[in-house]
Structure 1
């Protein structure tokens, strides 16, 4: 594949994936769980991502390949695990697109009222399908512009909120106990907060499309995760400092309404548009990334070669893109709720992350030479520790997430069973040598 995305583009893709609608819309429900400890919930929510980022960076440096989840699992575990992991990633992508499309309709109420939720949601999906049909390079340029606007909006909120909090006109607010609903409320909020970090490893899915991926993939993961964590903590701190928790909970669009307390109307509108762009950047990033799971499996003969077909002019894997979004549209029409879509996203990404941790533990047994040649070599004890901790924390968060929507647990189990059966039917037996050649 022709490399098209530089470090800035990779960082924009990851930040756009992680900073989604939640920071603009869902802070109220989170604050209801935590009270003033909202900032701490975002720090705790980052823990699985911080551990997981270590092995994603190592794997991304060793295997600079498109369709990272399938590639890592099939090389370091077995092809069947590669197929199952790819299915989990596709489930996560379908969930994210559905959640964001429906979230867009809810957020749109800040600007206009009325309209069919289903029709508007499907329309926004189709718009970004068209954007991505024009090719990854075009979609990534749009991504950089949208992420820049969104980051500026959030920085304005943090900086001016801080000055307002320390101004003469500000009256200190008593928001009650630090742990509004005790430790259990804080932990449940931390699980929900992890939704905001869940896409931290997705850039490895398009490693083959990144310039100098051995170095830029780990850099993009680390830089993006640090930036996003600081932004979430800054926004949550301001939000629980400048307005009463009860008022904040009642806001339908948390950040714009809170910003209206200390910023002029045109700046509030700028921030509100940033919320729309937060939805768009994640939608765009998911559509950039997830179809490549089909592409890499098609190239290795696991699924039909048609999935690897690209548009002659734009280089877009159009069939894979249309299949992923077609499934999403069917689920939207069927009435799947935003909550179920969200849980599909998190469960799919967490389960994929668990398999990635297992894959990383196998590096020193299966491919020590490739580890030694990698541009990034995380010390063995640290990588093993992070892999174990990442697996354990991801298992815990998966359990808590599935408890909220048991149907998603059933979906994941069904996909795993289908993956095993499918691998037996198609007799997936890929030689290690041929697999390693496909990495180059």
Structure 2
């Protein structure tokens, strides 16, 4: 796209983009990981994640009402902290977490696609199929806003209907019995820390609502509709998550959900609906991940373009023709491809959760301390969001330090290098 177009995205289109990102990675890639950390009552962790997200989204809604912009979070950070190192650092953390989410969705696409051919999820075809999906997302994203919102809105509706059919059928088989997943001696013990840490992954599954803020300049009546789109996207996703988690919990024992965590939804469909159920679920997963990757790429490339235009991040054309937006789109896809090849689903999700929660806390702190005279908001809700973020981040880091310290170290290195790199770049550009 060569430029931003005001009033080019409707309320329905914005909701489609938000749910497109959320429902793709959230339920397909993360449900099994949430069960692994949260234990047999894992469906209720999605409710807790929805509550945490509701607190968090309040800050974004208030900021979008005051500063609707295609830069979204990047613009909010500029308003909070000015054009300095902290702004660039936090904005890049958000961009990185979104790109990480794209690789998460891409690998999910590969993992579920292989279930149609009874191939192992450790196959090299997982990253290969993920890379192919990312290339397809690039092609769609150079087709224009009108096509993107129409495509994602239609596909989002299609996958939501499909997932609700699956959830309804799965619950019908068990007579809608509200019971936890059956635990066995093989199931890991759940501690308070791991239960709280599981909420971090559900928050990651909801974070797609932030992509809506990046269309602020293009959404019809943004001061009213950005907040509406965020609210409806979270509510729709929450309902879908709860029903699906409940259906999986009712049809599979906990140890099997954990064992097949990368494709838990497909595994749960077999005892409930047979082989046809597996095919149906995998096809819905493929549709969901396609729409999710397109919507996510659409948002992050625009935020990076805005940061580039504000001279907050370095940029090189590398000989490519066209506008900056096209270049940032290419960078986004290439980085996502690298992550898709190098990391598995669990580590991708962990890194994304850590970077996102740190950025989220910076947003809340800036609103609370820097814009209290300029934006009308309830400080107790923002303080609550800050405390909840901090609590689940600490719990998640504690659990990961004990089980996979490498991904914690990698996440910290990324944050340190990003901060120091931005400080060096801004110092050079201002001298």
- Fold in common (TM above 0.5): yes
1:42-83 Cα distance to aligned partner (Å, 9 max, x none): 122233311111111100111110111121111122211321
* Counterpart Cα distance in 1 of 2:175 and 2:349: 37
Q: Residue 384 of structure 2 corresponds to which residue in structure 1?
A: 389
1:325-368 Cα distance to aligned partner (Å, 9 max, x none): 222334445x244333323322332222112212321465452x
Matches of residues 73-88 of structure 1 in structure 2 within 5 Å?
A: 73-80=77-84, 81-88=86-93
* Counterpart Cα distance in 1 of 2:352 and 2:11: 25
Of 152, 168, 183, the residue aligned with 1:159 is 168
Of 61, 75, 82, the residue aligned with 1:71 is 75
* Counterpart Cα distance in 2 of 1:38 and 1:174: 9
Contact 1:84 1:419 in 2 (8 A): yes
* Counterpart Cα distance in 1 of 2:165 and 2:95: 35
Q: Residue 421 of structure 2 corresponds to which residue in structure 1?
A: 418
Task: Sort the Cα spacing of 1:265 and 1:228 in 2 relative to 1 into closer, same or farther, 3 A.
Answer: same
Task: Sort the Cα spacing of 1:393 and 1:365 in 2 relative to 1 into closer, same or farther, 3 A.
Answer: closer
Task: Sort the Cα spacing of 1:131 and 1:349 in 2 relative to 1 into closer, same or farther, 3 A.
Answer: same
Contact 2:214 2:299 in 1 (8 A): yes
Q: TM-score, normalised by structure 2?
A: 0.85
Question: 1:110 aligns to what SS in structure 2?
Answer: helix
Contact 1:21 1:275 in 2 (8 A): no
1:289-335 Cα distance to aligned partner (Å, 9 max, x none): 0011222123334457878xx998xx9921110112222334445x2
Matches of residues 124-139 of structure 1 in structure 2 within 5 Å?
A: 124-139=133-148
Q: Residue 326 of structure 1 corresponds to which residue in structure 2?
A: 334
The reply to whether residue 189 of structure 1 matches residue 205 of structure 2 is no
Q: Residue 433 of structure 1 corresponds to which residue in structure 2?
A: none
Task: Sort the Cα spacing of 1:6 and 1:189 in 2 relative to 1 into closer, same or farther, 3 A.
Answer: same
Q: Residue 212 of structure 1 corresponds to which residue in structure 2?
A: 221
* Counterpart Cα distance in 2 of 1:270 and 1:176: 27
RMSD over aligned Cα, in angstroms? Answer: 3.0
Question: 1:210 aligns to what SS in structure 2?
Answer: coil
Gaps of 5+ in 1: 372-376, 429-440
1:267-288 Cα distance to aligned partner (Å, 9 max, x none): 5423321111222222111101
Of 4, 9, 31, the residue aligned with 2:13 is 9
Q: Residue 293 of structure 1 corresponds to which residue in structure 2?
A: 303
With 87-96 and 112-121 compared, the bigger mean Cα shift is at: 112-121
* Counterpart Cα distance in 1 of 2:136 and 2:324: 15
The reply to whether residue 259 of structure 1 matches residue 269 of structure 2 is yes
* Counterpart Cα distance in 2 of 1:182 and 1:365: 38
Question: 2:217 aligns to what SS in structure 1?
Answer: helix
Q: Residue 435 of structure 1 corresponds to which residue in structure 2?
A: none
The reply to whether residue 242 of structure 1 matches residue 251 of structure 2 is yes
* Counterpart Cα distance in 2 of 1:77 and 1:362: 10
Number of aligned residue pairs: give it. 409
Contact 2:19 2:237 in 1 (8 A): yes
* Counterpart Cα distance in 1 of 2:168 and 2:247: 9
Contact 1:76 1:366 in 2 (8 A): no
* Counterpart Cα distance in 2 of 1:37 and 1:132: 39
Question: 2:209 aligns to what SS in structure 1?
Answer: coil
Contact 1:129 1:322 in 2 (8 A): yes
Task: Sort the Cα spacing of 1:240 and 1:303 in 2 relative to 1 into closer, same or farther, 3 A.
Answer: closer
Q: Residue 200 of structure 1 corresponds to which residue in structure 2?
A: 209
Matches of residues 50-69 of structure 1 in structure 2 within 5 Å?
A: 50-69=54-73
Contact 1:49 1:200 in 2 (8 A): no
* Counterpart Cα distance in 2 of 1:331 and 1:29: 19
Question: 2:115 aligns to what SS in structure 1?
Answer: coil
Q: TM-score, normalised by structure 1?
A: 0.83
Task: Sort the Cα spacing of 1:420 and 1:395 in 2 relative to 1 into closer, same or farther, 3 A.
Answer: farther
Runs of 4+ residues over 6 Å off in structure 1: 304-307
Contact 1:34 1:179 in 2 (8 A): no
Question: 1:277 aligns to what SS in structure 2?
Answer: helix
